[in-house]
Amino acid sequence: MSVGIIGGGVWGSALARILSKNKVIIYARDENVVKSINEHKINPKLKYTSFNSNVSATIDINFLRNVQFIFIALPAQKIREVLKTSDLDSKNKHIVICSKGIEISSSKFLTEVIKDVVSYKKISILSGPSFSNEVSQDLPTAVTLATKNKKNFEEISNLIDNKNFRIYFSNDLIGTQIGGSLKNIYAIAAGIAEGLTLGENAKSALITRSFAEMTRFAEKFGANKHTLFGLSGLGDLILTCGSNNSRNTKFGIKIASSKYENFSDLLVSQEVTEGYYTVEAVYNIAKEKKIDMPIMEAIYNIIYKRYNLKEELIKLLNRPLKDEKI
């Protein structure tokens, strides 16, 4: 089988490793990354790992025109821009979205974005608690693969020859996307709580109530609540909020412990922080659909309106008492 990966970052390279029993072509925009992969079988952005002879790279996305499977591992806000300039239209391709986020400009899920810009035969979502560096080192990982039927699931499963990378089937494409997207927002909140040294009790409560907001949002789109209790929802939320290896958690810690005139300056200092962008999209959707999401709204106010951190926290704590519901 032939596999194309769109995205030459750490996640795209980690995916190339677990798919490397097949012929894999990585599309990357960085010429140095492409040269390093082709000449030395190493991506300089990804430590402690190398590729076998099946993996190569290209700076021309149209080299992926004839592959049977395309795995998309780009920042969510870049997907439309990159695919729109390609010539990848094909009714024979199986596209697997491995990115997490919601497009700000359109408030669309990534499946909808893909549908806008390229044709395909099948589409799936790969999501769950999966730090790239651990996947690339063959450390045990379990994720959700959401697709319309079991046959699609089996096709993707057969591409992966790695017992330490386990995938579970779901047919809930919307719920799987929502879990993977929204958890990044709440990881920023968890980072802020840590940066303000609010303690483990506060962080635990924050993660739990964040999960309630995620399920509330998902149900508005007809997602299956059980999906959110799985790897792509609760599993990813626990990983991202509970680890300082998370880019979004690190971002939250920096917000709480530093004074930046502009958060875009802070973004430049680290890798892509999807939660920064996703919170804007989710804020707009929640306002339109009247979804009660106070934690998400507080993060939006802090990042985009520059509201005071402690004042937003006090506002959350002073909300009316209510029954606990998930």
Q: What is the pLDDT of residue 23?
A: 97
Q: What is the pLDDT of residue 135?
A: 96
Decide which of 153, 171, 189 is a domain's last residue: 171
Decide which of 150, 171, 192 is a domain's last residue: 171
Element (H or E) spanning 231, and its range? none
20 and 38 in a common domain: yes
In one-letter notation, the amino acid at residue 170 is: S
10-residue mean pLDDT profile of the chain (326 residues): values are 94 96 96 97 90 97 94 96 86 93 96 94 96 95 97 95 93 98 96 90 91 96 95 97 92 81 63 87 96 95 87 73 64
Q: What is the pLDDT of residue 267?
A: 66
240 and 109 in a common domain: no
The runs of H, that is alpha helices, within 76-234 are 79-84, 110-117, 132-136, 150-159, 173-195, 200-220, 225-228
150 and 189 in a common domain: no
Range of the domain at 246: 179-317
152 and 184 in a common domain: no
| 324 within domain boundaries | no
| 322 within domain boundaries | no
Q: Which of 203, 227, 231, 202 lies closest to 215, judged by CA?
A: 227
**Contact assessment for residue 163 and residue 18, using Cβ atoms and an 8 Å cutoff:** no
Q: What is the pLDDT of residue 231?
A: 98
146 and 11 in a common domain: yes
**Contact assessment for residue 34 and residue 23, using Cβ atoms and an 8 Å cutoff:** no
Question: Active-site positions?
Answer: 183
CATH code of the domain containing 284: 1.10.1040.10
Q: What is the pLDDT of residue 89?
A: 73
166 and 270 in a common domain: no
36 and 143 in a common domain: yes
214 and 117 in a common domain: no
Could you tell me the two tokens for 220?
């508005």
pTM, entire model: 0.93
Q: What is the pLDDT of residue 323?
A: 67
CA distance 80 to 115: 10
Angle, nearest 10°, between helix axes 294-304 and 274-289?
A: 120
12 and 158 in a common domain: yes
Decide which of 122, 147, 171 is a domain's last residue: 171
Q: What is the pLDDT of residue 238?
A: 97
CATH code of the domain containing 130: 3.40.50.720
